Amino acid sequence: MTIKVYELCGADRKNLFSPHCWKTRLSLAHKGLDYEVVPTPFTDIPKIEGGATKTVPLIRDGERLVSDSFDIAVYLDAAYPDRPALFDGAASQAMTRFIINWSQMNLHVIAMRIALLDIYKALDPADVSYFRESREARIGMTMEDFMANKAASPEELKAALAPLGATLKDQPYLGGETPMFADYVVFGPLQWLRMVSGEKVLPEEGPVAEWFARLLDMYAGIGRNVPVAA
């Protein structure tokens, strides 16, 4: 049965840039499961599946609804144990939580400081005022002031990625010889940046760039073949 996956979209419904949704998209591809993407603007999220979730990704798999990319990965491993695993035991699942928090507190924060206005420009018209209000409440200033005062450089992103780069000198993926959910966790914010701000803000060479390129090409290039900002 085809799994339905609700993903955030921009004004262009093919512009599915959410980092969290990418974690789930690659999880589904990793497990070789059929899926159908339902592009969803921010302001439509409360309406989907009878108000089942405040955030996407949300998947419907038969009767089951699961949100949150980590919970979805845990669900997929439990529901499809014969398919390639996203986690390899309880400790790898526990350590993935650390990698999620590290990514969120470092990469996502910097990505926002690079891409906030680019995201804003890519939004569905229906989302524009919701996004401005919710983000400006969070940052305590206008988005324009935030970017004038707090903008991050690609060099800051590169510095934040240093522990990943050091790790990828010893092994091809965060998960070891093959990618695991932890790899998709970190892929998410980089693909987000690539789609909304363009490849120019990402590391151009070195272990992280090579790892990212490998992930873009996996699963028939579902990561590679998307609209990319200039």
Distance separating alpha carbons of residues 58 and 4, to the nearest angstrom: 8
Which SS3 state, helix, strand or coil, does residue 65 take? strand
Tell me how far, at minimum, the Cβ of 30 lies from a second copy, in Å: 13
Q: Which stretch binds a second copy (CB under 8 A): 36-44, 95-103, 126-134, 142-150?
A: 95-103
On the CB side of 82, CA atoms within 13 Å amount to: 1
The CA distance from 223 to 188, in Å, is 10
Per CB under 8 A, the list member of 27, 53, 96, 191 interacting with a second copy is: 96
Of 16 and 164, which CB lies nearer to a second copy in the complex structure?
A: 164
Provide the minimum distance between the beta carbon of 69 and a second copy in the complex, in angstroms, as a whole number: 15
Binding of a second copy at residue 176 (CB under 8 A)?
yes
| Residues paired with 59 in a beta bridge | 5, 66
Contact between residue 25 and residue 3 where contact means Cβ atoms under 8 Å apart: no
Binder among 2, 101, 134, 142 for a second copy (CB under 8 A): 101
Interface residue with a second copy among 164, 196, 202, 215 (CB under 8 A) is: 164
Over the window 1 to 40, marking each residue x when it contacts a second copy by CB under 8 A and - when it does not, the resulting string is ----------------------------------------
Q: Using CB under 8 A, which of the segments 113-121, 163-171, 189-197, 206-214 binds a second copy?
A: 163-171
Tokens in use for 42?
A: 């921010």
Number of shown-chain residues binding a second copy (CB under 8 A)? 32
Residue 154 contacts a second copy per CB under 8 A: no
Q: Decide if residue 69 touches a second copy (CB under 8 A).
A: no
Residue 133 corresponds to which tokens in the numbers above?
A: 């209000």
- Report in angstroms the alpha-carbon separations of 12 from 206, 218, 226, 228: 32, 24, 12, 12
Chain positions 201 to 220 lying near a second copy, rule: CB under 8 A, are: none
What is the phi/psi pair of residue 196, to 5°? -100, -30
175 binds a second copy (CB under 8 A): yes
Coil/strand/helix, residue 71: helix
- Look-up: residue for tokens 């309406």? 47
Q: Which two tokens stand for residue 136?
A: 């400006």
Question: How many residues comprise the chain?
Answer: 230
According to CB under 8 A, which one of 34, 47, 78, 90 is a site residue for a second copy?
Answer: 90
Residues that bind a second copy (CB under 8 A): 87-99, 101-102, 104-106, 162-164, 166-167, 170-171, 173-177, 180, 182
